Structure 1
Amino acid sequence: MTEQPYTDGDLRDEAARQLASLVDDHDFMGIGEQMADSEIESLLPPAEADGAEGTCWGDLDRAQFADAQRKIDDLLTSAVDLSEWAVNLGADSLQASEQQLNIGDGRARIHFAFAPDMSEADRRDFVAMIAAAVITGG
């Protein structure tokens, strides 16, 4: 096997750089194009509503749509660059979890990523253990 002139770290660094550039160089008009046919999460029908469709962003009136588009652009512009973390988590086969731990009235937040074979119960127990350690200081 031929040795490559780059390391795994070099590959991760370049992937993180490219991922970050996708957010840094986002296209305002592209935001509107991508969101038009996408359903609004909070307006999805309940799972038991067979065949019911949710409301898409494009179903909003022009002023509401434009306002949402501007706010999404603001969120993308102010997003923290977590590209390196995201690439490293994926390279390590970890899956981001919706579980999080807020500390000090929003002054800090811990997000979690777990191995795919870790059970939901073990994930909850781990987060609870970390929370207990933070609360008790040890």
Structure 2
Amino acid sequence: MTDRPYTDEDLRAAAALMHYALTTQPNPADADAVLNGHPAWANVEVGSDEEDELRESVVELVSGAADVSGWAVNIGADGLEPSPDVLNLDGDDTTVVRVHMAFHPDVSERDRQYFGLALAHVMANAL
């Protein structure tokens, strides 16, 4: 028992709510801040209909993004590093399962790759 009236889980839940709030209310100004100076958008004319459509497309993607706030907070709190590698199990014209991984910093790149390959094999034979 601690002297605190809250647990680590309470802190993580509050952090996840804060993360969610900060990432689910995008506005065009947020998109502008990200798009300005990005080389992929260098040829888009400022003030054009194309720029407006691009900005709205970015806002729509953020608005429709999955809430992974709890996952993100717990990864950070546990000292894990998200892997850029993603495993997908695809069905007829759609992704059926997607697995994102995070590892302790001490897990070698070789072991991360081995784990990913082993998990991919399990996934391929599971469904």
Q: TM-score scaled to structure 1, two decimals?
A: 0.78
Partner of 2:82: 96
Q: 1:109-120, aligned counterparts within 5 Å?
A: 109-120=98-109
Change beyond 3 A, Cα 1:4–1:35: same
Q: Secondary structure at the match of 1:81?
A: coil
Aligned 8 A contact 1:58 1:65 in 2: no
Task: Provide Cα deviations, 1:21-44, integer angstroms capped at 9, x if missing partner.
Answer: 11222222232134213343xxxx
Partner of 1:121: 110
- Root mean square deviation of aligned Cα: 1.8
Identity %: 32
Aligned length: 120
Change beyond 3 A, Cα 1:33–1:134: closer
In 1, the alpha carbon distance for the partners of 2:121 and 2:68 equals 26
- 1:60 alignment partner, one of 39, 44, 53: 44
TM superposition outliers: structure 1 runs of 4+ over 3 Å? none
Q: TM-score scaled to structure 2, two decimals?
A: 0.84
Change beyond 3 A, Cα 1:135–1:4: same
Task: Provide Cα deviations, 1:62-86, integer angstroms capped at 9, x if missing partner.
Answer: 2332221111001011000000010
| 1:77 aligns to 2:63 (yes or no) | yes
Q: Secondary structure at the match of 1:107?
A: strand
In 1, the alpha carbon distance for the partners of 2:85 and 2:70 equals 20
